[in-house]
Amino acid sequence: MKLDDLRRPTIVEVVTPTCGACRAMASDLEAVAAEFDGRVDLAVVDAAAHPEVAAELGVRGTPTLIGVRDGAERFRTVGRRTRRELRELFVALAADERPGRVGHLDLLLRVGAGASLVVMGIVLGAVPVAVVGVAAVVVGAVAWWRGPR
C-alpha cells in the first residue's frame, strides 16, 4: 500500500492479531467508520501478515491510525482512541483539517481576546477580568504549542 495512491479521505489502521488495544478499539472504529461511509474510507493493514507495508508506512506500534487525503498523510496517532476521539479524527479528515490542533481562529480568539481582557482588567482594576484574560492566553498558547495529538 502506498499512501499516495489513496486519493480519497482514508483512515489507514495498522494492527496486529495479538494487539489487545486494537481489538478493544475495533468496535468503536467500525461504528464510526460506518457513520462516515462514503465520506471517509477505512483501510486496515495487518502488520503481522504484511510487515513490509507496515515498515514502509513507518509504523512502530499498534494500533496506528494514519489519516490520508489526496495521497498525503495528514495526521498519525498511535494507541487506543475512544469513540469520541475517533469521530474527531474522521470529522477532521472529512473537513480537511488537522485534528487536535488549535486553528488560527482559536489562537486569535484566545490570545487576542485574552490579551485585551488582561489590559482591560489592569486599566479598570477588574481582577476577575484580568484573571480570565490570563487564563485565555495561557490556554491558547499551550494548545498551540502542544500541536496535533
Partner 1 sequence: MKDFVNEAPWERIARVVLGIVLLYLGWSGTVTGGLGTFLKIIGFVPLLTGLVGWCPLYAIFGTSTNRKDEAARTT
- What amino acid is encoded at 88 in this protein? E
Number of residues in contact with partner 1 under rule CB under 8 A: 25
Kindly tell me which residue out of 26, 33, 42, 113 binds partner 1, with binding defined by CB under 8 A: 113
| Chain-centroid distance, C-alpha 49 | 27
Beta strands in 35-89 (DSSP E): 41-46, 64-69, 72-78
- Closer to partner 1 by Cβ: residue 55 or 127: 127
List the grid coordinates of 40. Answer: 471517509
Kindly tell me which residue out of 76, 78, 106, 144 binds partner 1, with binding defined by CB under 8 A: 106
- Which residues are within 8 A (CB) of 121 and not within 5 positions of it... i.e. 6 or more apart? 127, 128, 129, 130, 131, 132, 133
Min dist. Cβ of residue 53 to partner 1 (A): 28
Q: Does 124 bind partner 1 (CB under 8 A)?
A: yes
Residue 49: name the closest of 77, 9, 19 by CA.
19
Residues 31-70 that bind partner 1 (CB under 8 A): 35, 39
**Window of 26-34, 50-58, 68-76, 129-137 that interacts with partner 1 by CB under 8 A:** 129-137
Q: What are phi and psi of 65, to 5 degrees?
A: -115, 125
Q: Does 28 bind partner 1 (CB under 8 A)?
A: no
Q: Does 134 bind partner 1 (CB under 8 A)?
A: no
Give the count of beta carbons closer than 10 Å to the beta carbon of residue 99: 19
Site of interaction with partner 1 (CB under 8 A):
35, 39, 84, 87-88, 90-91, 94-95, 97, 105-106, 109-110, 113, 116-117, 120-121, 124, 126, 128-129, 132, 136
